[in-house]
């Protein structure tokens, strides 16, 4: 009996060892970690754009839900639906909406999201970390220094300008309706909202 028990325990140990020897993390996680080993902001951003953008767009918060949530218990809503880096009152969201272009100039696109809130989409220069932070693709702890982390913003902003906005620039005009998914930053101590800056991950022309 004791000999049989030893055989069974040895067999279980062997199976467990075999299982863990073949356990591997998901291919996407492993590929992303490989990008971090020899840091190249372009490769890291391109990888996330290719493999994570679709999921980001799919889970974007509808515009109506976004404004409704901030009209109630804004702090509770922001903690549930928003993202925050460090300690502060600024929360980052990814919002989807349809809107009509109220005006456009050389540098910006202007929208009215509802009766009270105006929005601006920069067309030529993006200097903020908004798109990076709202995406939640990157953890600052994964980077050796702030310079590397900020390099992701620079490349992501450049990618948005070149691949999302530039191809549509000639079609933007007053009265045109667009559908978009964009990064939004909200300071919950500065409510109700009056103006927003939107950094789009995706834009489509509706009319």
Q: How is residue 71 written in tokens? A: 């009209």
The residue among 204 and 143 whose pLDDT is bigger is 204
Q: What is the tens place of the pLDDT at every residue in 94-130?
A: 999 999 999 999 999 999 887 778 999 999 999 899 9
Predicted TM-score of the model (pTM): 0.79
Q: What is the tens place of the pLDDT at every residue in 190-206?
A: 898 889 999 999 999 99
Q: What is the tens place of the pLDDT at every residue in 46-68?
A: 999 999 999 999 999 999 999 99
Strands 108-112 and 118-122, bridge-based pairing: antiparallel
Which residues are CB-neighbours of 113 under 8 A, at least 6 positions away? 63, 67, 97, 99, 119, 196
Q: What is the tens place of the pLDDT at every residue in 90-102?
A: 999 999 999 999 9
For residues 118 and 181, give the distance between their C-alpha atoms in angstroms, rounded to a whole number. Answer: 16
Name the residue ranges covered by the structural domains of the chain.
Answer: 25-205
Does the domain at 25-205 match CATH 2.40.50.420? Answer given as yes
């Amino acid at each position: 009996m004791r000999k049989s028990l030893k055989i069974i325990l040895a067999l279980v140990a062997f199976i467990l060892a075999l299982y863990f020897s073949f356990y591997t993390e998901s291919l996407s996680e492993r590929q992303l970690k490989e990008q971090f080993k020899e840091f190249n902001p372009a490769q890291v951003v391109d990888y996330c754009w290719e493999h994570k953008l679709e999921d980001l767009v799919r889970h974007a918060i509808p515009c109506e839900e976004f404004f409704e949530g901030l009209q109630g218990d804004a702090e509770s809503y922001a903690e549930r639906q928003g993202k925050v880096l460090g300690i502060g009152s600024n929360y980052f969201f990814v919002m989807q909406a349809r809107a009509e272009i109220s005006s456009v100039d050389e540098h910006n696109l202007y929208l009215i999201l509802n009766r009270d809130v105006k929005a601006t989409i920069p067309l030529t220069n993006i200097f903020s970390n908004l798109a990076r932070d709202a995406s939640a693709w990157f953890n600052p702890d994964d980077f050796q220094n702030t310079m590397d982390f900020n390099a992701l913003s620079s490349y992501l902003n450049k990618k948005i300008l070149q691949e999302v906005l530039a191809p549509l620039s000639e079609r933007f005009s007053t009265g045109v309706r667009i559908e978009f998914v964009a990064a939004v930053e909200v300071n919950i101590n500065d409510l109700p909202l009056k103006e927003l800056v939107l950094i789009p991950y995706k834009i489509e022309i509706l009319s």
